[in-house]
Amino acid sequence: MITLTLDDGVAEIVLDAPDRRNALTLDDLNDLDAAYRRAAEEGARALVLRGEGRVFCAGRDVSGVDPETDDIAGYLGAVEGLMRRMADHPAPTFAAVQGAALGVGLGLAIATDVVYVGETAKIGSPFAQLGALLDSGGHALLVERLGAHRALDLIYTGDLMSGAEAVAAGLFSRAIPDAELLAFTREKARLAASGPTQAFLASKRLVASLRDERLWSVVADETAGQEALRATADYREGFAAFQQKRRPVFRGA
């Protein structure tokens, strides 16, 4: 479930499914896209994205996905479309990231202008347990900010960085004590909403011009790679193990 409120020039979009850790279905992606579109139409001068509950976004909702029939390319195509809308949003955007930001959840952060994370947030790639590929621009972010060795370390091990570690490594904007995160983010968005919007957007376009070509190329390659992996035995085993809540047994196939 996605909710949108607008108050004094600030739009707040909420991922509101805490019972499933704000994991996103295809319908959720479409609703999130519509919320960004409406915020733009309403003329919001700043936007806050947050997740309800203890987790920002655990990624895709794969609880009922059958790898044999899954349209992963269609799902990730919707993710790319949403990320492009988020990145192009005509106002400064802020994310308050608490708990986990994984998979698509990490992609939502990548597509946001300014990301504040709780000090104990969890950032990284859990795909080693799924037999799947880090997606939603994750490779671009990790290699760009951490370098190839650290990126592959996180991908191979599935280890997660805390919010404080992620900020110290240059992944995101600032690490904030968990209890203060949302109030801090809202205050920064409120200040931006009262600022020189057109000057902010000029800077936003310049920053985008320095990163977009590589980011979207990687997103497309990730989608192709994920679709290819869908045919592997390890991919099927990873999904089965996740859904059955057991450890996967990978055979390298």
Task: Tell how strand 93-97 and strand 46-51 pair up.
Answer: parallel
- The mean of the pLDDT values for the chain is 94
Q: Is the pTM of this model over 0.85?
A: yes
* CA-angle at 194, arms to 189 and 200, nearest 5°: 75
Query: What single DSSP character describes residue 24?
Result: B
The owner of tokens 């509101």 is: 16
Q: What is the pLDDT of residues 80-99, one digit of tens each?
A: 999 999 999 999 999 999 99
Residue with tokens 């104990």: 120
- pLDDT category of residue 105 using cuts at 50, 70 and 90: very high
Matching residue, tokens 């607008």: 6
223-242, pLDDT tens digit by residue? Answer: 999 989 888 999 888 888 88
Tens of pLDDT along 180-230?
Answer: 999 999 999 999 999 999 999 999 999 998 886 789 899 999 999 998 988
Bridge pairing between strands 2-7 and 174-176: unpaired
Say which DSSP state 60 is in.
Answer: B
Is 108 exposed, middle or buried (CB count within 10 Å of its CB: 0-12, 13-18, 19+)?
A: buried
